């Protein structure tokens, strides 16, 4: 399909049940589409044995999987920086390891990027046939509300600002991360806002987002307050 190589970054924390399934699905869809890829697992000291599971997967899939663990939970932004440093691909794909992002969409991301030579392709839950499955009304309301507020204040020119399933040119991602100051949930949002400032081209692919199958969601009340604070900060500074 292409001479490009794609490095898929999987930051993990307590994902021992999900990791074998997500890896199997990535391998399946990338192999079927004849795409050159590697999976970089960045485990942040999971106490549930996620790293042991990753080591077993590495024995099965060999050089397709790189393990780049860290001693403790250091946050998403630094996980990506850590992943980029070890990435052999010229494109970086970021996605959640909890099965909320289905690897079947990756070839669509790649196709759109190649067709339009885009700097970034991001998955959207709020356009075309995209959607969210498995969330209760409250969670949907929070997500929609966060997205609406973000659109209103930041005018990012994308329909889903808080999504975290994306394809970046490696040098673009590196530059964006160097400009970002946010942590946690807001980090993804700031990436797109900074991309707009730097005139990077962004395309969207509709995706189905499915709530995590195993384990606990990482979103709680403190994250929502932090999100509101960071949103106002971004509004004031961008």
Mean pLDDT of 5-15: 95
| Predicted pLDDT of residue 42 | 96
Residue 197 clears pLDDT 60, i.e. is over it: yes
Say what the pLDDT of residue 195 is: 93
Share of the chain above pLDDT 70, in %: 90
Average pLDDT score over the chain: 87
Q: With bands split at pLDDT 50, 70 and 90, how would you rate the model's confidence at 41?
A: very high
Query: How confident is residue 1, by pLDDT bands cut at 50, 70 and 90?
Result: very low
Instruction: State residue 235's pLDDT score.
Output: 73
Beta bridge partners of 40: 9, 66
In the chain, where are the structural domains located? Answer: 5-237
What's residue 238's pLDDT?
A: 67
Q: What is the pLDDT of residue 156?
A: 64
Please write the tens of the pLDDT for every residue from 207-226: 988 876 555 555 556 666 76
Tell me how many degrees the CA angle 184-57-107 measures, rounded to the nearest 5. 65
Class of domain 5-237: alpha beta
pLDDT digits (tens, 9 = 90+) for 87-134: 999 999 999 999 999 999 999 999 999 999 999 999 998 888 888 787
Q: How high is the pLDDT of residue 220?
A: 57
Q: What is the pLDDT of residue 49?
A: 95
Q: Alpha helices, DSSP H only, in the chain?
A: 19-32, 50-61, 76-85, 106-116, 137-154, 170-179, 187-197, 221-237
Average pLDDT over residues 52-80: 90
Do residues 40 and 83 make contact, with C-beta atoms less than 8 angstroms apart?
yes
């Amino acid at each position: 399909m292409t001479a490009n190589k794609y490095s898929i970054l999987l930051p993990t924390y307590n994902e021992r049940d999900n990791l074998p399934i997500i890896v199997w699905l990535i391998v399946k869809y990338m192999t079927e589409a004849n795409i050159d890829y590697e999976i970089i697992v960045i485990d942040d000291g999971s106490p549930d044995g996620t790293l042991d599971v990753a080591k077993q997967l590495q024995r099965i899939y060999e050089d397709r999987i790189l393990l780049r663990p860290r001693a403790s939970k250091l946050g998403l932004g630094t996980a990506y920086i850590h992943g980029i440093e070890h990435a052999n691909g010229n494109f970086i794909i970021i996605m959640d390891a909890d099965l909320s992002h289905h690897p079947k969409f990756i070839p669509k991301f790649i196709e759109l990027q190649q067709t339009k030579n885009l700097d970034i392709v991001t998955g959207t839950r709020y356009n075309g046939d995209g959607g969210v499955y498995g969330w209760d009304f409250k969670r949907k309301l929070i997500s929609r509300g966060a997205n609406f507020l973000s659109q209103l204040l930041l005018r990012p020119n994308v329909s889903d600002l808080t999504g975290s399933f994306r394809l970046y040119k490696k040098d673009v991602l590196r530059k964006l991360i160097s400009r970002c100051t946010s942590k946690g949930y807001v980090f993804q949002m700031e990436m797109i806002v900074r991309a707009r400032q730097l005139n990077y081209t962004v395309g969207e692919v509709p995706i189905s987002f499915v709530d995590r199958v195993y384990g606990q969601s990482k979103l709680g009340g403190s994250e929502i307050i932090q999100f509101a604070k960071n949103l106002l900060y971004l509004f004031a500074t961008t």
